[in-house]
């Protein structure tokens, strides 16, 4: 047994907060020292009196595997030939008070399946990736002017086996990926994949930040799953929690008997809302740990993006009656984003931020936090409050629909209907809708259509695509039996067609983050609760007209102002009978007429469906052809209907 000493430069960078591949130094690594093959252990425990490695290889007796303290800032190291890949281990830490702690390795690559808590020596090398085509595609075209509709899911409760056991990563590749592709989602976002002790924490209270949870298999199994996603043109985003961690005895909390990864001051350390501990984001070693962690998931697992959880809890000091900005967290987030984007400019850094902090998605060089996307929590809260209200009373909540367009282009937004909105007594999205059975489905179709038409990228939590009736039950699978019922079947048909339209119609995604891509037609009809607007693409005169009716009333020959004198084709109507509607649709193309209306130079007359959204495409002149002396619009509407019916 001997000591493999880290270099002075590595040690300097770690304590400076700039060792961005600290996972190559810390943890358990297979190495050759003096021609001997063994395992090098390295851990940071600045307050420890002594540190030993214990495991099944020494019957959990660390007397023969004591680590050497190699600097006065608490880095401990040891090389031994007694340990092999696959062995269980922990660090036995003797505190200055003489207490003995058994801690999992903060940098472990693999862990025992809960409720067991030991780390496992694991070799991450050896997986052969086949996602080169996906990576080339990402580099060719930025995401900002491409469609992005994220399917958010929790792997453990999306679907379970008949005996109640969990699907593995490899089994999910066979079950989940075809489902996501079939429905047309562009990305999946998985609730935290880091190792965590409690299923119902969903991964948000982690213990092993470098350890892909063993609930579903090995790290190589997860690599296979992500690789398969990429080969099927699906991006992978993971929820990531750099703000706080759980306080289980084997984890990071009071790692060496004193605050190590967390703030020393209890007022700053204790996260009273979630019962967790806040990372000390001003401590350089913690910065090295967390920034390295993001790069680790990018390098070894080819993660395409991170939804950074609870940014509001980081930006402001916790447990304070007033909002006081946390400069440590602000500087950390800027540094994190700068480092991540320097490694991969295509990465998605998504802030889950409920505050009105300015310039969250602006580059740090312009004074921003450096994210490239932010969840639009304001839009989500406003539109759900509007939809949950009685349709008659919605005329008093008119600004809940219009207000979002006052700030829609101040940030790069994602419109989220996430897991947070369908748990703990909040009801499912379907059950939030007022009215009878039919009206609930009609209004949910309207809500999804409005989300697709509104500027911003999109996110929907699992189950929303078929109208899950109950809220998310976080220990049970989704209610797949609902697929036996006609209205739920038709909801899935609608969502698939809606996403198909979304990905094909460039005005719905090309100019998401600039005011040039949106224009109100009528934002003031609070009495009838009908909203109409235009979405524009990059090309001149490439546009869609969207009309939303938030009441159960039907209107015929309803006049709408339009910007172009051309024909308009209804490419989707949520009231189509194919989707479970009453079929108040516009089958024929509509010719724009001379005459100013709604401030537009021309107008059309159309049918307005109850609780319906209609998307009409302006037909270009070159899209017309002569037949039997008459003009006909070149449309594949009939073929589209046949495809949907099939």
Mean pLDDT score of the chain, rounded to an integer? 95
Q: How confident is the model at residue 222 (pLDDT cuts 50, 70, 90)?
A: very high
- Residues 43 and 190 placed together within one structural domain of the fold: no
Say if 525 falls within a structural domain.
yes
Q: Could you read off the pLDDT of 80-96 as tens digits, one per residue?
A: 999 999 999 999 999 99
State the residue range of the domain holding 563. Answer: 517-645
- Residues 533 and 625 placed together within one structural domain of the fold: yes
Q: Looking at the predicted structure, is the pLDDT value of residue 636 above 90?
A: no
Say if 60 falls within a structural domain.
yes
Express as a percent the part of the chain with pLDDT over 90.
Answer: 91
Mean pLDDT of the 526-551 span:
97
Lowest mean per-residue pLDDT among 2-6, 467-471, 570-574: 2-6
- Residues 195 and 259 placed together within one structural domain of the fold: yes
Mean pLDDT of the 248-260 span:
97
Out of 375, 398, 418, pick the residue that ends a domain.
375
Mean pLDDT of the 478-502 span:
98
Q: Could you read off the pLDDT of 27-59 as tens digits, one per residue?
A: 999 999 888 999 999 999 999 999 999 999 999
Q: How confident is the model at residue 322 (pLDDT cuts 50, 70, 90)?
A: confident
Q: How confident is the model at residue 6 (pLDDT cuts 50, 70, 90)?
A: confident
Q: Could you read off the pLDDT of 82-138 as tens digits, one per residue?
A: 999 999 999 999 999 999 999 999 999 999 999 999 999 999 999 999 999 999 999
- Looking at residue 3, its pLDDT comes to 61
- Residues 204 and 88 placed together within one structural domain of the fold: no
Place of tokens 């909203």: 531
- Looking at residue 639, its pLDDT comes to 66
Q: How confident is the model at residue 631 (pLDDT cuts 50, 70, 90)?
A: very low
Say if 437 falls within a structural domain.
no
Closest CA to 23 of 36, 42, 37, 39: 42
- Cross-strand partners of 285: none
Catalytic positions, written as ranges:
309, 352
- Residues 111 and 176 placed together within one structural domain of the fold: no
Q: Looking at the predicted structure, is the pLDDT value of residue 4 above 80?
A: no
Phi, psi of 595 (to 5 degrees): 125, 120
Residue 127 CA, distance from chain mean position? 25
Instruction: Count how many residues are written for the chain.
Output: 646
CATH number at residue 327: 3.20.20.80
Rounded-to-integer distance, Cα 304 and Cα 128, Å = 18
Q: How confident is the model at residue 640 (pLDDT cuts 50, 70, 90)?
A: low
- Sheet harboring 613-619: ordered strands across? 518-522, 530-536, 543-549, 613-619, 567-573, 590-591
Domains identified in the chain, total number: 3
- Residues 187 and 76 placed together within one structural domain of the fold: no
Question: Could you give the count of Cα atoms lying within 13 Å of 115 in the half-sphere of its Cβ?
Answer: 2
CATH number at residue 80: 2.60.40.10
Say if 522 falls within a structural domain.
yes
- Looking at residue 289, its pLDDT comes to 98
Q: Looking at the predicted structure, is the pLDDT value of residue 1 above 80?
A: no
Out of 102, 120, 138, pick the residue that ends a domain.
120
Say if 412 falls within a structural domain.
no
List of E strands, 162-260? 187-190, 194-195, 208-212, 235-240, 244-245
Q: Looking at the predicted structure, is the pLDDT value of residue 627 above 50?
A: no
Express as a percent the part of the chain with pLDDT over 70.
Answer: 96
Q: Looking at the predicted structure, is the pLDDT value of residue 565 above 80?
A: yes
Say if 416 falls within a structural domain.
no
Place of tokens 């030991």: 118
In sequence order, the 6+-apart residues with CB closer than 8 A to the CB of 211 are 108, 109, 110, 111, 119, 194, 195, 219
């Amino acid at each position: 047994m001997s000591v493999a000493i880290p270099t002075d430069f590595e040690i300097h960078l770690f304590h400076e907060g700039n060792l961005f591949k600290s996972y190559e130094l810390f943890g358990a690594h297979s190495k050759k020292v003096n021609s001997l093959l063994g395992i090098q252990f390295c851990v940071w425990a600045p307050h420890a009196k002594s540190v030993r490695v214990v495991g099944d290889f020494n019957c959990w007796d660390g007397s023969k595997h004591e680590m050497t303290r190699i600097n006065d800032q608490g880095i401990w190291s040891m090389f031994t030939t007694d340990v092999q890949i696959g062995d269980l281990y922990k660090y036995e830490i003797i505190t200055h008070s003489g207490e003995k702690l058994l801690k999992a390795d903060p940098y472990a690559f693999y862990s025992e399946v809960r409720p067991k808590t030991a780390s496992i020596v694991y070799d991450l090398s050896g997986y052969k990736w086949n996602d080169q085509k996906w990576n080339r595609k990402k580099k060719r075209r930025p995401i900002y002017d491409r469609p992005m509709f994220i399917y958010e899911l929790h792997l453990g409760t999306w679907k379970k086996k008949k005996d109640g056991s969990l699907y593995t990563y490899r089994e999910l590749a066979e079950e989940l990926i075809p489902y996501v592709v079939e429905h047309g989602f562009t990305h999946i976002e998985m609730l935290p994949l880091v190792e965590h002790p409690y299923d119902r924490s969903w991964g948000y209270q982690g213990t092993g930040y470098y350890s892909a949870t063993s609930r579903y298999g090995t790290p190589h199994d997860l690599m296979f799953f992500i690789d398969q996603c990429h080969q099927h043109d699906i991006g992978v985003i993971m929820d990531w929690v750099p703000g706080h961690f759980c306080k289980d005895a084997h984890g990071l909390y009071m790692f060496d008997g004193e605050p190590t990864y967390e703030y020393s001051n209890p007022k700053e350390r204790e996260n009273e809302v979630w019962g967790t501990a806040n990372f000390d984001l001003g401590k350089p070693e913690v910065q090295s740990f967390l920034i390295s962690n993001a790069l680790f998931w990018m390098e070894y697992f080819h993660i395409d993006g991170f939804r950074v959880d609870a940014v509001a809890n980081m930006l402001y000091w916790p447990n304070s009656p007033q909002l006081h900005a946390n400069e440590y967290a602000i500087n950390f987030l800027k540094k994190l984003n700068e480092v991540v984007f320097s490694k991969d400019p295509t990465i998605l850094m998504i802030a889950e931020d409920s505050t009105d902090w300015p310039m969250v998605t602006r580059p740090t060089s312009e004074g921003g936090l450096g994210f490239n996307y932010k969840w639009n929590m304001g839009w989500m809260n406003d539109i759900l409050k509007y939809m949950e209200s009685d349709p008659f009373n919605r005329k008093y909540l008119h600004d809940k629909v219009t207000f979002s367009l006052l700030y829609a282009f101040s940030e790069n937004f994602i419109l989220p209907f996430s897991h947070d909105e369908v748990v703990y007594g909040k009801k499912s999205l379907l059950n939030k809708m007022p009215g009878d059975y039919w009206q609930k489905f009609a209004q949910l179709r309207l809500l999804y259509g409005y989300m697709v038409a509104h500027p911003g990228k999109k996110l929907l939590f699992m189950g929303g695509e078929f109208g899950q009736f109950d809220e998310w039950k976080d220990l049970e699978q989704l209610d797949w039996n609902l697929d036996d019922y006609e209205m739920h079947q038709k909801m899935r048909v609608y969502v698939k067609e809606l996403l198909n339209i979304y990905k094909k119609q460039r005005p719905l995604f090309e100019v998401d983050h600039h005011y040039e891509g949106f224009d109100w037609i009528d934002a003031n009809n609070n009495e009838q609760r009908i909203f109409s607007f235009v979405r524009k693409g990059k090309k001149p005169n490439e546009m869609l007209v969207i009309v939303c009716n938030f009441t159960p009333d039907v209107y015929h020959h309803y006049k709408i102002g339009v910007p172009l004198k051309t024909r308009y084709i209804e490419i989707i109507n949520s009231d189509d009978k194919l989707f479970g509607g009453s079929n108040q649709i516009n089958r024929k193309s509509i010719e724009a007429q001379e005459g100013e209306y709604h401030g537009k130079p021309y107008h059309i007359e159309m049918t307005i469906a109850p609780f319906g959204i209609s998307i009409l495409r302006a037909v270009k002149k070159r899209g017309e052809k002569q037949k039997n002396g008459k003009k006909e619009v070149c449309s594949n509407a009939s073929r589209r209907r046949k495809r949907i019916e099939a």
